[in-house]
């Protein structure tokens, strides 16, 4: 990944350019809260917004984009098909619902939110049809490990362009980074700041002090230097702006390795093989 500035992109395996810094809007309330957060982000130079039908804020995301004054082509928008909507017919209906709520003609990226067992192959078949229809410019998956990715690739005709997984210094999943690199699938990380839990880590604080940056900025810069698209979430203007101010410094090889050493396979979310039980308990 060539890191330049807040407007930098990576090329997906179908040639589509995807911004490597985005705003996540998970748990951001629909209406004024999500619209304000997106306005702060767009004004700070972000051109990538990551939402999902499960977040229940697609309408606000769409309104914020339309009211921004930016051309539709200038903003990269991601949404996701939720578990209950998966399967072939359900996924075909889900994309139309999302587009209607967002008031958009197309999405830049559409993802399978979780790899629901027994329907994954059929869901991916629908994703391929949606991609061929032009309703989305790229397709991919979230929250997968190797065997789930293998199922999609072996049974499908179009290779995923993106895999979005939980990714932070305590959950490196080097095997998945290597898997995606080998297959030319772009890796993207959610919960890059580990829901704030990583920010008090002394190694990261020491590196932050050296660079005169915040711990969050160190972690986000680490994401990019690992070749991972990062989508930190916030509703606060100062934090959104701060999260984008990561292009005037570079971590050394030793500093990247120091942060890598924090990996202990700790998750804040569900494991891809056990998420059905996780959501059943909620």
Q: What is the rounded distance in angstroms from the CA atom of residue 186 to the CA atom of residue 163?
A: 6
**Residue among 11, 9, 31 at smallest CA distance from 20:** 9
- 3-class DSSP state for residue 212? coil
Report in angstroms the alpha-carbon separations of 14 from 19, 39, 129, 184, 254.
Answer: 15, 29, 16, 10, 34
Q: What is the rounded distance in angstroms from the CA atom of residue 186 to the CA atom of residue 118?
A: 25
Q: Which residues pair with 186 in a beta bridge?
A: 162
Return the number of other C-beta atoms located less than 10 Å from residue 2's C-beta. Answer: 8
55 tagged catalytic: yes
Secondary structure (DSSP) of 41-99: HHHTT--EEE--GGGT-HHHHHHHHHHT---GGGSEEEEEE-GGG-SHHHHHHHHHHHH
Active-site option among 40, 46, 55, 110: 55
Q: What is the rounded distance in angstroms from the CA atom of residue 213 to the CA atom of residue 216?
A: 8
- 3-class DSSP state for residue 107? strand
User: Please, are residues 60 and 34 in contact by the beta-carbon 8 Å criterion?
Assistant: yes
Backbone Cα Rg of the chain: 18
Catalytic residues: 55
């Amino acid at each position: 990944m060539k890191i330049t500035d807040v407007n930098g992109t990576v090329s997906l395996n179908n040639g589509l350019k995807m911004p490597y810094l985005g705003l996540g809007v998970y748990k951001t309330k629909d209406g004024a809260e999500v619209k304000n957060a997106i306005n702060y982000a767009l004004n700070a130079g972000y051109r990538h917004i990551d939402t999902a039908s499960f977040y229940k804020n697609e309408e606000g995301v769409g309104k914020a984009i339309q009211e921004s004054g930016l051309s539709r082509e200038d903003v990269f928008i991601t949404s996701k098909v939720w578990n209950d909507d998966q399967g072939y017919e359900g996924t075909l209906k889900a994309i139309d619902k999302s587009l209607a709520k967002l008031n958009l003609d197309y999405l830049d990226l559409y993802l399978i939110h979780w790899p629901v067992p027994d329907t994954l192959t059929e869901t991916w078949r629908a994703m391929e049809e949606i991609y061929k229809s032009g309703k989305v410019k790229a397709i991919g998956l979230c929250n997968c490990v190797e065997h789930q990715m293998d199922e999609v690739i072996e049974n499908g005709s179009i290779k995923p362009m993106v895999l979005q997984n939980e990714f932070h210094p305590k959950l490196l999943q080097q095997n998945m980074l290597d898997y995606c690199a080998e297959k030319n699938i772009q890796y993207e990380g959610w919960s890059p700041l580990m829901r704030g839990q990583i920010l008090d880590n002394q190694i990261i604080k020491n590196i932050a002090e050296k660079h005169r940056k915040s711990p969050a900025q160190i972690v986000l810069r680490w994401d990019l230097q690992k070749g991972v698209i990062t989508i930190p979430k916030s509703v606060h203007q100062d934090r959104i702006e701060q999260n984008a101010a990561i292009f005037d410094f570079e971590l050394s090889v030793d500093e990247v390795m120091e942060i890598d050493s924090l990996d202990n396979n700790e998750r804040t979310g569900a494991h891809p093989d056990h998420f059905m039980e996780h959501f059943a308990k909620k």
